Amino acid sequence: MRTTIRSMITAEGCIIAMDDGTITWTPRRGGLKRVRLDAQASVILGLIGPKGKIDRVVIGDISGAVNIISLSQMAVIDRYVTGKSKVRSLCSSSISGECILVGCENGSIYLVGQNVPDRVVELFELDGPASAMRVVGQSLHIQQGWKRLTLDWTGEEVGNRSKKKGSLILA
């Protein structure tokens, strides 16, 4: 008996991640498709393709890997290993999804993608996990529990270079 641990509903269908590593895609038109990952999913991010619809999903897992899955093929088309810490948050760094920001349980923030040097680069480390991230202009907005951080791509607080990395910004 499998248990659903993550899901995402789109206009085109439903993506479900199960506790055994199985990812299912149930499109509104067509039959159920499946793929199995090496580890259990921890977070799902949809990527919008050239036709304006979600055509790929990015799945972070508990082993620290980031898997890119094509929904039309329902196959893993790329995989990046960030380390051994569970992936807690994902964010596309561009509209096309060429690079993905990855926040891990141990506080490490990575950038992964085919155009990234060595495919995986650790940008900086926080003093705890990033529960949510987004790119706003040239800065990273990171939520850590009740704290909201506004950082540059090196982990320094935006607007005040003298403060310690990961400092609290009150909005």
pLDDT in tens, the chain (171 residues): 889 999 999 999 999 999 999 999 999 988 999 999 999 999 999 999 899 999 999 999 999 999 999 999 999 999 999 989 999 999 998 765 689 999 999 999 999 999 899 999 999 999 999 999 999 998 999 999 899 999 999 999 987 654 445 544 433
Does residue 145 sit in helix, strand or coil? coil
Tell me what pLDDT residue 5 has: 96
DSSP state of 30: S
Superfamily of 4-151 according to CATH: YVTN repeat-like/Quinoprotein amine dehydrogenase (2.130.10.10)
pTM summary value:
0.88
pLDDT score for 169: 41
Task: Write down the domain spans for the chain.
Answer: 4-151
- Per-residue burial over 63-83, b if 16 or more Cβ lie within 10 Å, else e, is bbbbbbbbbeeeebebbbebb
HEC string of 58-111? EEEECCCEEEEEECCCCEEEEEEECCCCCEEEEEECCCCCCCEEEEECCCEEEE
Q: How confident is the model at residue 161, as a pLDDT?
A: 52
Question: Tokens 């935006």 — which residue?
Answer: 158
What's the CA angle centered on 11, arms 42 and 49, to 5 degrees? Answer: 75
- The CA–CA distances, whole Å, from 158 to 137, 141, 142, 164 equal 12, 10, 12, 11
Per-residue pLDDT at 18: 97
| Cα distances (angstroms) measured from residue 94 to each of 16, 29, 159 | 25, 29, 23
Question: How many residues are present in the chain?
Answer: 171
